[in-house]
Copies of this chain bind each other. A is one copy, B any other.
């Protein structure tokens, strides 16, 4: 869940933000002065900070600098000041965005989403979906199958078939569904394709292809992949 730190000394603004954020399933911490804010930021490691510049104890820009000393967490500044100088100062101190009050909640939330989004790691990052069995390992993102210390090469069709089965691990996948997902929507009766490629997969992946443990045939219905 995304964690937001709201820093503002006006209770009604904090309340409005907290309600709206929680309704959208954010986890929210709130601070009403700079010192508490810096402390909370360190303790709670938020994914994004919403900061009002007008705080009772210290200048908002100092809070930005305090955060930027050790973290690159996105900072979204709120302020009643419309002056260009203020904005420039805050942005150059390390803020990511600057919204003037009064602000629209929709807009603020959209800017928040944008800030969170770009701080996320690239979707094709190292978080690979890996499926493990006793005999082999499937990495769906890298399109890799590892077995007995070496990589197994699969043809496009074999991959596609394996992918559909693995995504439905433990579930029965009907022959029609397999044919349509791998060969296209106009297929559905060419069960011989399935027999050929299922045999291929078993030969490449099963310890004993004649007695498959992972690619199970359900006669008359379809196939099932089991870990």
Contact = CB atoms under 8 A, between A and B. Distances in A.
A118 interface: yes
A113 B143 CA distance: 34
Contacts of A95: 114
Given A97-B97, A159-B221, A113 B84 contact: no
A106 B84 contact: yes
Interface stretch (A12-20, A38-46, A54-62, A167-175): A167-175
Interface in A183-218: 218
**Copies of chain A in the complex:** 2
A125 to B, nearest CB: 10
A131 interface: no
A35 interface: no
Interface in A61-104: 72, 74, 84-85, 87-88, 91-92, 94-98, 104
A141 B171 contact: yes
A220 interface: yes
Contacts of A144: 170-172
B110 A87 contact: yes
A221 B157 CA distance: 10
A78 to B, nearest CB: 15
